[in-house]
Amino acid sequence: MDKEDLLYLIALLKTENIGPVLAKNLIQSLGGIKAVFQASKRELMMIPKIGEKTSKDLTNIHQNLSEAEKIIKQCEKLGISILSYQCDEYPSILKEIYDPPLILYYKGFLSNKTWGIGVVGTRAITDYGKEQTKILTEYLVQNQVIIVSGMAYGVDYQAHRTCIDLKARTLGILACGIDTIYPKSHENLALEIILQGGAIVSEYPPGAKVNPMNFPLRNRIISGLSKAVVIVESGEQGGALITAQFAFEQNREVWAIPGRITDKKSLGCNLLIQKNIAKIYTKPSDVLEDLKIPLEKPIKPQAQPLFLELSPVEECIYRNLDFQGIEIETLKEITQLETNTLLSSLLSLEIKGLIIQLPGKKILKKQ
- Over the stretch 254-283, which tens digit does the pLDDT of each residue have? 999 998 888 888 999 999 999 999 999 999
In terms of domains, do 287 and 349 share one? no
CATH number of the domain where residue 222 is located: 3.40.50.450
For 354, the domain range is 312-365
Q: Residue 342 maps to which CATH number?
A: 1.10.10.10
Give yes or no: residues 258 and 324 share one domain.
Answer: no
Q: Same domain, yes or no, for 22 and 57?
A: yes
Which is nearest to 202 in space by CA: 71, 351, 345, 34?
Answer: 71
53 and 133 inside one domain: no
Question: Domain tally for the chain?
Answer: 3
Let me know if residue 10 belongs to a domain: yes
Residue 59 sits in a domain whose CATH number is: 1.10.150.20
Q: What is the pLDDT of residue 330?
A: 86
Which residue, of 291, 322, 356, is where some domain finishes? 291
- 99 found inside a domain: no
pLDDT at 306: 40
User: Is residue 307, in this structure, part of any structural domain at all?
Assistant: no
d(CA 276, CA 100): 25
Given a cut of 50, the residues of the chain with pLDDT beneath it are 297-307
Report pLDDT digits (tens) over 106-116.
999 999 999 99
User: Are 128 and 198 part of one and the same domain?
Assistant: yes
Please check whether residue 87 lies inside any domain of the structure.
no
pLDDT score, position 300: 38
Q: Which pLDDT belongs to residue 295?
A: 55
The answer to whether position 96 is within a domain reads: no
What pLDDT, on the 0 to 100 scale, is given for residue 324?
Answer: 76
**219 and 136 in one domain?**
yes
Which of 31, 61, 77 represents a domain boundary (last residue)?
A: 77
Is the same domain home to 143 and 223? yes
